[in-house]
Each structure stands twice: as structure tokens, then as C-alpha cells.
Chains A and B, each alone.
Chain A
């Protein structure tokens, strides 16, 4: 059976087409403002890559913060659920999944079957997201990839405010003016976000194997900082940014969809909201 998984996130869309557990094609693109359109276009692209037509695909499952916008999907699953399924598919020994994307950082405790047992989200705060990394890289006037590699040269730990991205950026500017070496500042940035993410991960408990996914998992500096912070190994699968789409495809293959149900509840009298 041929299935597709589409992950529509805050910054990017990822799509995978798979047949009997094997990936036939994958693609990614910025999600922009018109997310439904971006998903549509990317789906066409990945179909083309696989040499397939829409009717060849038995089932499409969407996920991601804007998964609901994928009008051609047969169903939607929550993004953390997609992460869990995707990771278990690649690394069956995974028990803790850490996903840091552009706008959200989260930790998921997974069962061997890929079920979400517990989750914690870095809420209302950019300091635990890819956006924080992007902002700091801009302050250091270098691409994120360069900042990541540079941080590996540092042997020094500088405490940095990690509760607030605005304060954090301010501190980077201060450190630059204090003529702190850029590789040390780069490490401080990654240590700060790693501290933030590890504190979220500790809410669900750190149980091996710990797997990191999402766009920020490609940041070698962050992964190193996270390893140091939690004092344990962190596995990063190939193409970690595709895990959500992979998990959605796995859900499609397993036939897990949002069921549409007829309303069964007896109509109740409408009560006034907000009485306290």
C-alpha cells in the first residue's frame, strides 16, 4: 500500500511517500503564510518525485501545527503522536523524544508501541525554539550552521539568561561588546537553549534511548550542548526534520485516522458561560 504523510509546521512543510514501510520520495519547502497552498504544492512535488499520481496513494495523513489545513488529507494526527510513531519506526528502542522546531520545543515519553505516554511543551516562550537560535545567529552576524560549528570550538561555559529570548539577545550583544570570543558566545547560546529544552524534557523524565528530532536536531552545536546538559547520549536519526511526516505516513499505513462520529449526546439546555 502506498501512503503519504504531510507535516505542516510553523516554518516548513515536509512530505513523505512510502510503500510498505519504504520511503519512495520526500521533500520539504517553507510553509509561508498560505499553509494550505504550500502543503498542496509540496504534495504535487513529492508525487512527481515518486512518479505517482494522487489516485495511487491509498491514504494521506497530515500532522503539524497547521495539519488541519491539509484539505486533501484523509485524517490528521497530533504532531507529538506523529513524532512518536516516526521515531519508533526508525529507532525502536527510543523512550524519550525531544523535538525542537521553529516555534515549539517539546518532549515526549513514548511506549515501545509508539504511543504518547506523557508530553511537555515549552509554552509561551521563544527561548526553547529554533527561533531563539535564529535570533542569536543574527546577533552574531553569521548563519546558524556556522554558529553551530563554531560553538564546538569552545571549552568554556558562560551562564546566559535562558528564560527570555529578548534578554538573551541583549546578553549576546553585551558579550560581543565585552569582546568575548565568538565561539564562546556561540556555545553559551546553545547551552542556554539546551538548558531550556532539557528542563522541559525532565518534566516527562529522561529515559534511554533519548532521541532528538525536528529542525534544530541538525544543529551540531545544540546537540552537543544537550548531551552535556543531560549527561547522557542523545541519538539523532538521519533527516530528523522529516520525523513528523514519517510518523504521519506510518499512521496512514496503520489505518489510524480521526473518525467522524455521529453526534450521540442529547441536546442540553444552553447555559450562560463565564459565571463565576
Chain B
């Protein structure tokens, strides 16, 4: 299959996510559980033959959500709740889970469990002190309880072999996506930022075994793929959740820029780190979630004020030849708002110019175009005088 066709399938899953999930249920007879934060341990869900899908917004004004979450909560979280209240998940979602994520998503989950008729729900206590060894022990215990709760719900015991399978499915998916990302290091990447994002969105919305099949085919197709476009300015996009396709397309199709790498939770931050297998499988999974690139609300230390995410972002920028970074943030998003002033300084001190944009359920493309265009001009002008 050609790369374009594969990527179109990914896009179809993103656009028609509910139809995909319903079809999956029909084919497999399995349960579907929605998660609201990428700290949800999907390995355990796959071990139980459950399909984990990420709850994402619909990019519509969340008018049904207002009686449940007033307007100062992030539009993405309200949009997610709105989708639930609109009944988009009623036909097929068997369960929904949340972790110690940001306060905005916690609220969406809280309202969902009261008003949306999803039969099963679970709060997974993901520790925040991820750099402390205590967190790893605690998390392994949480995973054991979670596994037990799933077993009680499904009536099926999860064996070590099942967990191995779950780990393998997730690790394979992470590894393959990272391999696709390697192509973005090229001078003229054979895959655009929009396409790469679409690939990750599909990962979060479909059976990863099926996604892995697509990825393997994509990896075969990419070496020969030549895109009829100028790479232009090599950009990085960093920040909170992003599935704003029109924005990505605007920058890449209209403005001669290419997002060669990203760092957000619908991007690389989701899949960058694998589980390192150990005899104690749950401990291995716990270690991965503690050691992964953290969400800002977990990116703090036990001894000093440093962050682990910043050097990682800089490394990505250097590895991918980034000329500029666009820092995006869902309006009112606390975790990223807390980091952005420091991140901006850090990147700029290390030679990566930054531009900040605030996202909503829909974005004012006209205004953003002018601003991003100016940013790209600034980068091009600087390059001219280097």
C-alpha cells in the first residue's frame, strides 16, 4: 500500500472514531474503555483484551458541558465531556477511566461518571512524584489493584502471558512510531507533521495490533516516498493536547513550514518510552510510566527545581534540526502554563526561537496565519544573517 493510502486510513480512524470502535466490537465481541489521560496503563487493558481508546474532543462549542464545568476550564476537557453528553459514546463505550491527570480532565471525568451512561468507571491513582523511587513501588501496587478490578469486571483472570502480550502490543506500537519519526530527521521528510500527527491520533483510537500492521507497511513505503513540497522552515510543536488538523495544515500547506517533530500528548510524549521487560511485569510497567517523558504536572524533582522534560525537548530539537518551536497550549491549561515561561527561556537560551499560541476548540486560522507567517519570516531572516 502507498504511504498516502495508509495515512488516509489513519485519518479515517480519527474522523470516524466511533464507527471504528463499534465495528471493532462487532468483529471481536470485546469491551471498549475510554481513557482521558495518557498515564492510563493500556498494557493492562490489552492484557484483558479490552480496546483502550482516548477520549478526544469534537472541535465543537461545548454548550452541553457548561452546566457541568463552567467556562474557565480548558476547552479541550469541556469538549471531551460535551462529546459524552451528546451521546457519541453511548452505543459502544463499556468503561471510562481517569488518572491523577490535570484538574480539568478530572472534572470532565467526574461529570461524565454522573451524567453519561457508561457502565464501568475507574480512577487510577497515578502518582505525581514520578522521580521518587517510592512512586514506582506505589504504582506497581496500583497496577495490581487495577488488574484485579478489571478481572472482576470481565470475569477473566489476567495471566503473566496476557500482560506480556499487552506490553508487547504497546511496545511494538511505540517502537514502530518512533521509527516512522526517524524519517522526519531527513532534509526533506517523506512525511509531513500533519501526517505524523494523524498517525499518532489513530494509534490512540484504534486497536494497536491493527495500527502496527499499518505502521509496518508505512515503514516499507516511506523510503521511496517523495513529497512534492518544500520543507521550508523546520518547526517543532510543543505543548498540551493537539489534534487541530486545520492548524497543522495551514502551517504546512500554506506557509512553507514543516513540523519535523512534536512534543505533546497526542504526539511523541505519548509513545516515546517503552516498557523494559522484567520478571515482575507490573513493576516493569510502573517503571515505564514513572520514567516516561512527563506531563508538566509531574515534572518536578525531589531535590531541585529542574525538569526532565526540557532537556528532552532540546535534544529532540537538536536531533531533528529544528529552527523554531511553536509552543501551543489549550486555553486555561494549567500544567503547560506553569512551564511555558521557563521553557521559552530555556529554548531561546539554547538557540531555538519560540512562538506561543493559545488554542481553543476551533482556532482563528486567519489570525494565526499572520502570526505564524511573521514567525517564519523572522527565522528565515535570522538564517540569512547567520
Determine whether A and B are in direct contact in the complex, meaning some CB atoms lie less than 8 angstroms apart: yes
Interface set of A (CB-CB < 8 Å, partner B): 125, 159-164, 167, 170-171, 173-174, 177, 192, 195-196, 198-200, 202-203, 229
CB of A125 to closest CB in B, whole Å: 7
Query: Contact: A195 with B61, CB < 8 Å?
Result: yes
Fill in one digit per residue for B340-368: 1 if any A CB lies within 8 Å of its CB, else 0: 00000000000000000000111111110
Docked CA distance A160–B362 (Å): 7
- B7-15, B62-70, B178-186, B218-226: which lies at the interface: B62-70
Task: Write out the residue numbers on chain B whose beta carbons fall within 8 Å of the beta carbon of A192.
Answer: 61
Nearest B residue to A229 by beta-carbon distance? B63
Query: Contact: B362 with A174, CB < 8 Å?
Result: no
Query: Contact: B65 with A199, CB < 8 Å?
Result: yes
- Say whether, besides A163-B71, A170-B367, A174-B367, A196 and B362 are in contact (CB < 8 Å): no
18 contacting pairs across A/B (C-beta < 8 A): A160-B61, A161-B61, A161-B360, A161-B362, A161-B363, A163-B61, A163-B71, A163-B360, A170-B367, A171-B362, A174-B365, A195-B61, A195-B63, A199-B65, A200-B66, A202-B64, A202-B66, A202-B67
Question: B288 an interface residue at 8 Å Cβ cutoff?
Answer: no
CB of B356 to closest CB in A, whole Å: 15
CB of A63 to closest CB in B, whole Å: 26
Task: Write out the residue numbers on chain B whose beta carbons fall within 8 Å of the beta carbon of A174.
Answer: 364-367, 369
5 tightest Cβ-Cβ pairs between the two chains A and B: A174-B366, A199-B66, A199-B63, A170-B364, A195-B61
Most buried by B among A164, A192, A195, A199: A199
Query: Contact: A159 with B60, CB < 8 Å?
Result: yes
Question: B166 an interface residue at 8 Å Cβ cutoff?
Answer: no
Docked CA distance A173–B368 (Å): 12
Docked CA distance A219–B282 (Å): 61
Query: Contact: A198 with B360, CB < 8 Å?
Result: no
Query: Contact: B71 with A171, CB < 8 Å?
Result: no
Task: Write out the residue numbers on chain A whose beta carbons fall within 8 Å of the beta carbon of B67.
Answer: 199, 202-203
Apart from A161-B360, A202-B66: 7 A-B pairs, beta carbons within 8 A: A159-B61, A161-B61, A170-B364, A171-B362, A173-B367, A196-B63, A199-B64
Give the size range of B's interface with the partner.
20 to 34
Task: Write out the residue numbers on chain A whose beta carbons fall within 8 Å of the beta carbon of B366.
Answer: 170-171, 173-174, 177
Question: B75 an interface residue at 8 Å Cβ cutoff?
Answer: yes
A contact patch SS: helix
CB of B166 to closest CB in A, whole Å: 37
Among candidates A162, A167, A200, residue contacting B364 with C-beta atoms closer than 8 Å: A167
Which residues of B29-70 are within 8 A (CB) of A?
59-67
Among candidates B62, B361, B367, residue contacting A199 with C-beta atoms closer than 8 Å: B62
Nearest A residue to B60 by beta-carbon distance? A159
Fill in one digit per residue for B66-88: 1 if any A CB lies within 8 Å of its CB, else 0: 11000100010000000000000
CB of A243 to closest CB in B, whole Å: 24
Task: Write out the residue numbers on chain B whose beta carbons fall within 8 Å of the beta carbon of A202.
Answer: 63-64, 66-67
Query: Contact: B75 with A163, CB < 8 Å?
Result: yes
Most buried by B among A161, A173, A192, A198: A161
Task: Write out the residue numbers on chain B whose beta carbons fall within 8 Å of the beta carbon of A229.
Answer: 63
Most buried by A among B360, B362, B369: B362
Docked CA distance A111–B145 (Å): 50
Task: Write out the residue numbers on chain A whose beta carbons fall within 8 Å of the beta carbon of B63.
Answer: 195-196, 198-199, 202, 229
Nearest B residue to A167 by beta-carbon distance? B364
CB of A257 to closest CB in B, whole Å: 34
- Say whether, besides A196-B63, A199-B62, A200-B66, A164 and B360 are in contact (CB < 8 Å): yes
CB of A138 to closest CB in B, whole Å: 16
Task: Write out the residue numbers on chain B whose beta carbons fall within 8 Å of the beta carbon of A160.
Answer: 61, 362
Task: Write out the residue numbers on chain A whose beta carbons fall within 8 Å of the beta carbon of B59.
Answer: 159
Docked CA distance A196–B62 (Å): 9
- Say whether, besides A171-B366, A199-B63, A161 and B361 are in contact (CB < 8 Å): yes
CB of A55 to closest CB in B, whole Å: 49
Task: Write out the residue numbers on chain B whose beta carbons fall within 8 Å of the beta carbon of A170.
Answer: 364, 366-367
Task: Write out the residue numbers on chain B whose beta carbons fall within 8 Å of the beta carbon of A199.
Answer: 61-67
Fill in one digit per residue for B365-376: 1 if any A CB lies within 8 Å of its CB, else 0: 111010000000
Nearest B residue to A122 by beta-carbon distance? B71
Task: Write out the residue numbers on chain A whose beta carbons fall within 8 Å of the beta carbon of B75.
Answer: 163
